[in-house]
């Protein structure tokens, strides 16, 4: 559990930078809302990682995970240091290098995510998956906190180049802490026989790609995975630009992100408790309703103004719901993974969720820029409720056992 927590914190560090800090820095630089909404598209490797997940899974039958983790995480730290040199804002002659560095960091951490999720599915018994996914979400949020909120606060006192040393150094520190962890030291025991032919190996890779969708009811479930957090995907990316337009400084937004992310850790714990007490289906319904309602509440901020009391009240409620809904969704995703292709199956589901989130994020930015924040946030909440309603009505007949 401690090793998984450290690995998920590491994945959250660059994600916090790109999801929380970069939109504020870009908005302060005068970048349009549509471009900020399109930032999610720079997470392309998280969308495409299912393409190489079977190869990573298969390599772990013979290669200890620590070799992958060491190479991926140390290189990501070096890239963060390089990103501090070329700059974070997309202006000037360094634009191409900035975009390339962001894409490469996402590629490295997306590949590490395949390994980490596979370890979680294989080593954590089903009865503990509520707790495991609480740690997953909590660890990821802690990483995002350090890479996003703390970095924004730090960047208000020192230059951005120096601030970027924070996530880079933390990546190296976490790597040192887990380097000798037992679950990273040995190859995955579910291996094919050493005498298997190349045709058998190729057949195994094909099964890794398509075996998941052959399970009964899986197409319906993948549709739910894709759209379950549609409200969050459309609305959350516009909250910080809305605060910036409302006169909030980057330091104030950093403090707000810090407070609400800590609350999100409580939400993750609530999600683990809901999953244990209510089971997957009922916890998904209640957490999904809470997520949709709290996203809609941001429309009230857009109408009434960005007063601190209202912003913090809505932000705390929304992060409680976000943490809970993410935990129960991930726990259900783990339950539907095959042991032999655990990393691949979880990655396929996660990639579908990410690609749809990216498209909805782009759509959200365009709606906010063309119409208004309040229209976007109200629509996002309504769509989230619609998805929960479809799941509640159809899941008893179609959800895989």
- Which domain covers residue 111, as residue numbers? 2-182+204-398
Are the CB atoms for 232 and 291 separated by under 8 Å?
yes
Establish how many alpha carbons lie within 13 A of residue 278's alpha carbon, considering only the half-sphere containing its beta carbon: 18
- What are the two backbone dihedrals, phi and then psi, of residue 229, each rounded to the nearest 5 degrees? -105, 35
Count the domains in the chain.
1
Average pLDDT, the chain: 83
Q: Is residue 155's pLDDT more than 90?
A: no
Q: Is residue 60 part of a domain?
A: yes
**How many residues are given for the chain?**
401
Please give the average per-residue pLDDT across 41-46, as a whole number. 79
Q: How confident is the model at residue 401 (pLDDT cuts 50, 70, 90)?
A: low
Indicate the pTM of the whole model. Answer: 0.75
Q: Is residue 233's pLDDT more than 70?
A: yes
pLDDT of residue 191: 47
Are the CB atoms for 51 and 208 separated by under 8 Å?
no
Are the CB atoms for 217 and 93 separated by under 8 Å?
no
- Tell me: the pLDDT tens digits for 293-319? 999 999 999 898 888 899 999 999 999
Q: Is residue 195 part of a domain?
A: no
pLDDT of residue 190: 54
Q: Is residue 9 part of a domain?
A: yes
pLDDT, greater one: 142 or 127:
142
Please give the average per-residue pLDDT across 218-247, as a whole number. 89
pLDDT, greater one: 76 or 87:
76
**CATH number of residue 99's parent domain:** 1.20.1250.20
- Tell me: the pLDDT tens digits for 160-183? 677 778 888 899 999 888 888 888
Measure the CA–CA gap between 323 and 321, rounded to whole angstroms: 6
Q: Is residue 280 part of a domain?
A: yes
- CA distances 42 to 60, 257, 284, 287, 315, Å, are 28, 22, 29, 28, 25
Q: Is residue 123's pLDDT more than 70?
A: yes
Q: Is residue 290 part of a domain?
A: yes
Q: Is residue 148 part of a domain?
A: yes
Q: Is residue 187 part of a domain?
A: no
Q: Is residue 149 part of a domain?
A: yes
């Amino acid at each position: 559990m401690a090793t998984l927590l450290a690995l998920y914190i590491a994945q959250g560090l660059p994600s916090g930078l790109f999801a929380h800090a970069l939109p504020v820095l870009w908005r302060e630089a005068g970048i349009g809302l549509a471009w900020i909404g399109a930032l999610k598209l720079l997470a392309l490797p998280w969308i495409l990682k299912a393409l190489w997940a079977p190869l990573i899974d298969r390599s772990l039958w013979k290669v200890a995970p620590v070799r992958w983790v060491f190479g991926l995480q140390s290189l990501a730290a070096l890239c963060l240091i390089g990103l501090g040199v070329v700059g974070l804002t997309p202006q000037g002659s360094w634009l191409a290098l900035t975009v390339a560095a962001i894409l490469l960091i996402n590629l490295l951490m997306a590949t590490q995510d395949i390994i980490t999720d596979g370890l979680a599915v294989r080593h954590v018994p089903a009865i503990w998956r509520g707790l495991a996914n609480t740690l997953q979400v909590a660890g990821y949020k802690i990483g995002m906190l350090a890479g996003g909120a703390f970095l924004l606060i730090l960047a208000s006192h020192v230059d951005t180049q120096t601030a970027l040393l924070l996530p880079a150094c933390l990546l190296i520190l976490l790597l040192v802490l887990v380097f000798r962890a037992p679950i990273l030291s040995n190859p995955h025991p579910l291996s094919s026989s050493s005498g298997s032919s190349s045709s058998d190996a190729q057949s195994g890779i094909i099964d890794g790609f398509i075996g998941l969708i052959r399970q009964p009811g899986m197409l319906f479930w993948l549709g739910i995975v894709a759209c379950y957090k549609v409200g969050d995907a459309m609305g959350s990316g516009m909250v910080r630009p809305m605060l910036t337009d409302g006169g909030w400084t980057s330091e104030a937004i950093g403090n707000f992100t810090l407070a609400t992310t800590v609350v999100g850790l409580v939400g993750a714990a609530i999600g683990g408790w809901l999953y244990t007490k209510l089971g997957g289906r009922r916890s998904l319904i209640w957490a999904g309703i809470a997520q949709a309602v709290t996203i809609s509440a941001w429309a009230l901020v857009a109408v009434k103004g960005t007063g601190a009391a209202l912003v913090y009240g809505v932000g705390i409620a929304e992060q409680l719901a976000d943490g809970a809904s993410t935990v129960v969704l991930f726990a259900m995703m783990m339950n539907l993974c095959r042991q032999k292709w655990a990393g691949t199956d979880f990655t396929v589901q996660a990639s579908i969720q990410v690609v749809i989130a990216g498209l909805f994020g782009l759509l959200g930015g365009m709606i906010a820029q063309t119409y208004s924040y309040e229209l976007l946030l109200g629509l996002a909440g309504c769509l989230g409720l619609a998805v929960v309603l479809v799941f509640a009505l159809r899941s008893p007949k179609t959800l895989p056992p």
